[in-house]
Amino acid sequence: MLEKIREGSQGVVAKTILVLVILSFAFAGVSSYLGSNTGIPAAIVNGEEVSASDLENAFQNERSRIEQQLGEMFNALAADDNYMNGIKQGVLDRLVADKLIDQAANKLGLRVSDEQIKRAIIEEPAFQTDGKFDNDRYLAVLRQLGYQTTSFRNMMRVDMTRRQLLNAIVGSEFVLDGEAKQLAQVQGQTRDIRYLVVDSTPYLASVSVSDEEAQTYYDANLAQFMSPEQVSLEYVELNVADMAKSSQTTDEEVKAYYDEHQSQYQTPEKRLAAHIFVAATDDDDADKAKADAIVAKLNTGEDFAEVAKTDSDDQLSAQQGGQLDWFEQGVMDAAFDEALFALQQDQVSPVVKSEFGYHIIKLLDLQASQATAFADVKAKIVAQLQEKKALDVFYGLQSKLADTSYEIPDTLVDTAQAVGGKVQTTALFSRDNVPAKFNNPELIKAAFSDQVLASGMNSDVIELAPNHVVVIRMKQHNMAGTMAFADVKAGIVERLKQDKANESAREKAAQYMAELKAGNDTLTDATLTALHKLGRFNQEIDQAITDKAFKIAAPAANSVTIDTAALATGYAVIVLDKVNEAEGINDNLINTLKQRLAPQYSEADYRAVIATLKADAEIEYPVVE
């Protein structure tokens, strides 16, 4: 919704163009994710249809946006049909809201003239060349997106009319200084407290839970004991990494490979460089003259290192007499690199120009290229040859895996025999606890698909990783349902024991609170911890204590307020001594809060308008029977 509100204050055509570009990709071949167009509308709003194709295009747009935002994480989410259906429902809700806004704008008599549309097109930067409207560019962009001028203008008319109403809603909201100041005072308030934690752990040993109590709790809270849908799989896999382990190589093969690929086992030549650097300025002639002057000094016999210390603009290397580092060929700027590798040891180059300035380069030392000993790379070559042999076998077996699992879809036995493998199995797992080996979006999607679960067929070949594929089928399928009492009894007993221990802690906390209210500042067997100026967002103590401290009523003069707070394992007694006013409230803080509140108010306005329009509308969601 915040995006909707921000659109109300941004360029109309710019956003339209962005949408069109995204839609052009959708039209280019993105297939339907949740079914094809049946001709049945996705929704009917006061008699006007939201077509299934409009929904599909908008859904693909949103899907692409989320995928770009989340990256690889999106693949795992996309494997969950429930998650994707939720996204699609959200898109449909937005389309219905747009339709309601369009109808409200029309009812209010809002219109956009041809002249307004023309002016928006002319002023749109996407249609301009050198800051002026370019009709040829305008037509070219529309042709690229597959739009006629008439259809594009109609789209703009709808969009601009809608935004008249949206701008009226979100543009009229404002925040008063008093509102922002009041929020600042509330957020910045601190409190002086004393507190005491009564831990429930010591009481656990003295409490017990009967079978009847556990059964009663189970019967009253069945919704807490729902088990997710689970599946156990049979599978046949091909993995080059595993196949390579059994590949055989001879010493002769390994030595022959080493001899034929000597260039791969050469350490590259390295050169130790030094330079005197003249950094580029706006006056290239002056830079070149300075570099030539440095060369002249060197030609008269001055020491390179000493000249570098006094004349080089590279202060770091200058301290080392111009010395840089060891470089392999191709690492540095092309001009620098070429000059360095053309030098003999201790030789100094002429002036070399790079994109950063001018260099005078000296070759201090070099390490010649050397061949790595066969013994040092033998293990690596063996692994390479094993993988190569395994790959040659893998590609043939992958075809057999695909063909056999497809031709005999109701078993994996024949498939395993065809590829020389075996049928393996997994334990039961749900979408949320997939075995690490199979935690792959495509496999999860296939494991819970109709093809595997409903039809009981083999899956298609699934790539788990490069050169690692698998075919799966269902071994066991457990629908989501209520877990048996026996399976959850131990957890219920532990929970009830904790509840009873917490109740004992609550009673002890109540006893302490009674003593404090009676005026006993010093407790008989416990000590209160004082905390001065506790902030609302303090992270140093239990959040439940902080929350309760700011809910307790401010104490009267010369008095305190006392209360208790429930913790995860016990209770806390809290004494509120004083409420301190916020400090450091200034105009900058107030302006920041106003900027934060304004979009929140606008969003609330937008939601309220949509809710009102929905309440008065007739909205249908046809479904295919």
pLDDT at 20 over 50: no
pLDDT at 155: 86
Phi, psi of 473 (to 5 degrees): -150, 160
Sequence-separated contacts (24+) of 136-140 with Cβ below 8 Å? none
Q: Which amino acid is at 25?
A: F
Q: What is the pLDDT of residues 550-559, one digit of tens each?
A: 999 999 988 9
Residue 16, helix vs strand vs coil: helix
Q: What is the pLDDT of residues 39-81, one digit of tens each?
A: 789 999 999 999 998 899 889 988 888 888 888 778 777 777 7
361 shares its domain with 381? no
Whose CA is closest to 458, among 404, 397, 410? Answer: 410
What is 556-574 written as a DSSP string? PTT--EEEEEEETTEEEEE
Whose CA is closest to 458, among 418, 515, 485, 490? Answer: 418
384 shares its domain with 498? no
pLDDT at 609 over 60: yes
194 shares its domain with 45? no
- 595 within some domain: no
| Max Cα-Cα span within the chain | 104
433 shares its domain with 305? no
Query: In the listed set 560, 580, 600, which residue is the last one of a domain according to the structure?
Result: 580
Confidence of residue 158 (pLDDT cuts 50, 70, 90): confident
Confidence of residue 8 (pLDDT cuts 50, 70, 90): very low
Q: Which residues contact 85 (CB under 8 A, 6 or more apart)?
A: 34
pLDDT at 9: 38
123 shares its domain with 14? yes
Q: How far apart are CA 10 and CA 23, in angstroms?
A: 20
- 129 within some domain: yes
468 shares its domain with 495? no
pLDDT at 502: 95
- Please report the sign of the dihedral spanned by the C-alpha atoms of residue 277, residue 278, residue 279, residue 285: negative
293 shares its domain with 440? no
Q: What is the pLDDT of residues 325-383, one digit of tens each?
A: 999 888 888 899 999 999 999 999 999 998 889 999 999 999 888 877 788 788 888 88
pLDDT at 473 over 50: yes
Confidence of residue 26 (pLDDT cuts 50, 70, 90): very low
Report yes or no: 117 and 124 within 8 Å, Cβ to Cβ.
no
519 shares its domain with 446? no
- 148 within some domain: yes
pLDDT at 6 over 70: no
27 shares its domain with 159? yes
Lookup: tokens for 404: 């056999």
- 185 within some domain: no
Share of the chain above pLDDT 90, in %: 51
Q: How far apart are CA 582 and CA 535, in angstroms?
A: 10
pLDDT at 4 over 50: no
Confidence of residue 167 (pLDDT cuts 50, 70, 90): confident
Q: What is the pLDDT of residues 207-238, one digit of tens each?
A: 999 999 999 999 999 989 988 899 999 999 99
The domain of 521 spans 190-210+486-580
Q: How far apart are CA 247 and CA 386, in angstroms?
A: 5
Q: How far apart are CA 237 and CA 424, in angstroms?
A: 9
Q: How far apart are CA 373 and CA 262, in angstroms?
A: 10
Q: What is the CATH number of the domain that holds 336?
A: 3.10.50.40
Confidence of residue 623 (pLDDT cuts 50, 70, 90): low
Mean pLDDT of the chain: 87
pLDDT at 14: 39
- 531 within some domain: yes
- 178 within some domain: no
Mean pLDDT of 168-185: 86
Mean pLDDT of 15-43: 49
308 shares its domain with 401? no
Query: In the listed set 479, 514, 547, which residue is the last one of a domain according to the structure?
Result: 479
The angle at the Cα of 480, spanning 477 to 481, to the nearest 5 degrees, equals: 120
494 shares its domain with 536? yes
- 218 within some domain: no
Phi, psi of 586 (to 5 degrees): -140, 180
Q: How far apart are CA 28 and CA 49, in angstroms?
A: 24
Give the Cβ contact number of residue 313 at 10 Å: 17
- 219 within some domain: no
119 shares its domain with 10? yes
Share of the chain above pLDDT 70, in %: 93
Q: How far apart are CA 138 and CA 143, in angstroms?
A: 9
Mean pLDDT of 98-116: 90
Domain count, the chain: 4
SS3 readout for 413-447: HHHHHHHCCCCEECCCECCCCCCHHHCCHHHHHHH
